[in-house]
Amino acid sequence: MNDTHTHADSSQGLPSFSDWMAQVQQRTESALAGVLPDPAIAPARLHEAMRYAVLGGGKRVRPLLAHAAGELAGASAADLDRIACAVELIHAYSLVHDDMPCMDDDVLRRGKPTVHVEFDEASALLAGDALQTLAFQVLAERPLGADPASQLAMLTQLAIASGSRGMAGGQAIDLAAVGRKLGREELEFMHVHKTGALIRAAVLLGARAGGALGEGELDRLDHYAKVVGLLFQVVDDILDAEADTATLGKTAGKDADHDKPTYVTLLGLTEAKRLADEMLDDARRTLRPLGARALRLEQLADYVVHRSF
């Protein structure tokens, strides 16, 4: 993480970035614990698996992005908590399914056994299914944002970002690409869907919850979100190549072992790092006209680049 913003925060009378991030992470953890079914309620094993998959792990990057964009747009903290929960539940479900033997077949996630290892494959499959539907329940069950039409647009956006034109489609492309050499455009197309779609949704759902932004500002946030979504994947590929399993909290070198195309295998480590720097500059330039309101979004772009899991 880049420390340069700590002083900028205090000079504006704001909490430091690390303090703000910790506050949002704690809010999100508490909100998730509240929306997930109680493990004492039947079917208890399914509810235990759902809570195991979601709570007590992860950096909550998508909730952080939703809160940062929502704060810029004047959204209420309560609405942003619900949006944060929805995007994180979708993300958690995707990890549960991705780790299963029929997909990436991994045994470690966030420093602990994956759900199908800790429980069983059937429980993992059902937990992922239930987390996905819970995300839409959280977004739909109470009024959210400026008006019903805005809330309906949020539900539609999350559905598209999660489905065949988003994350699920990206995973299908990823599975089909094993053992193949992809060009940069093909690799980017895959990750715009697999990783980028949900990150983009997190930013835009947060922004739409406030209702205070014009189309030009929303377009600017959309471009920022697309860049950060790809940036996240480039850094993920770099970390997968450089970091060890203990640092990552998941199996290191897995992509190379499975002969998956990555930005590192395509470009090499040096060029992949240069690309990450270029994307970070693009994200910063995009936010500049939004001024001080975009501080947290800029800091999060820095954080994506400098994170070490």
Question: Please, which pLDDT band fits residue 303 given cuts at 50, 70 and 90?
Answer: very high
Predicted confidence (pLDDT) per residue in 143-160, tens digit: 998 889 999 999 999 999
Quickly tell me which residue has 């992005």 as its tokens: 65
Residue range 53-79: mean pLDDT, rounded: 95
pLDDT over 90, % of the chain: 80
Residue 6 forms part of a structural domain: no
The pair of three-digit structure tokens given for residue 184, joined into one six-digit string? 């940069």
pLDDT at site 11: 46
Residue range 106-132: mean pLDDT, rounded: 95
Residue range 267-288: mean pLDDT, rounded: 96
Residue 179 forms part of a structural domain: yes
pLDDT at site 51: 98
CATH number (domain holding residue 116): 1.10.600.10
pLDDT at site 180: 86
Question: In sequence order, what are the residues at sequence separation of 6 or more whose Cβ sits closer than 8 angstroms to the Cβ of residue 282?
Answer: 227
Instruction: Give helix 77-98 / helix 197-210 axis angle, nearest 10°.
Output: 170
The per-residue pLDDT of the chain, averaged, comes to: 91
pLDDT at site 232: 95
Among 65, 11, 34, 260, residue whose Cα is nearest residue 141: 34
Q: What range does the domain containing 196 cover?
A: 13-306
Residue 279 forms part of a structural domain: yes
Residue 165 forms part of a structural domain: yes
Cα angle 92, 42, 55 (rounded to 5 degrees) comes to 25
The number of domains in the chain is 1
pLDDT at site 255: 67
pLDDT at site 178: 87
Residue 126, Cβ neighbours under 10 Å: how many?
18
Residue 211 forms part of a structural domain: yes
Do the beta carbons of residue 156 and residue 140 sit within 8 Å?
A: no
Comparing 89-93, 148-152, 171-175, 210-214, the range with the smallest average pLDDT is: 210-214
Question: Please, which pLDDT band fits residue 223 given cuts at 50, 70 and 90?
Answer: very high
Question: In sequence order, what are the residues at sequence separation of 6 or more whose Cβ sits closer than 8 angstroms to the Cβ of residue 55?
Answer: 29, 32, 33, 36
pLDDT at site 250: 63
Residue 8 forms part of a structural domain: no
Residue range 124-142: mean pLDDT, rounded: 98
Q: Measured between alpha carbons, how far is residue 228 from residues 65, 154, 194 in Å?
A: 10, 20, 13
Backbone φ and ψ of 112, nearest 5°: -140, 165
Among 174, 170, 166, residue whose Cα is nearest residue 202: 166
pLDDT at site 248: 62
Question: In sequence order, what are the residues at sequence separation of 6 or more whose Cβ sits closer than 8 angstroms to the Cβ of residue 185?
Answer: none
d(CA 118, CA 124): 9
d(CA 130, CA 82): 17
Residue 136 forms part of a structural domain: yes
Question: Please, which pLDDT band fits residue 188 given cuts at 50, 70 and 90?
Answer: very high
Residue 1 forms part of a structural domain: no
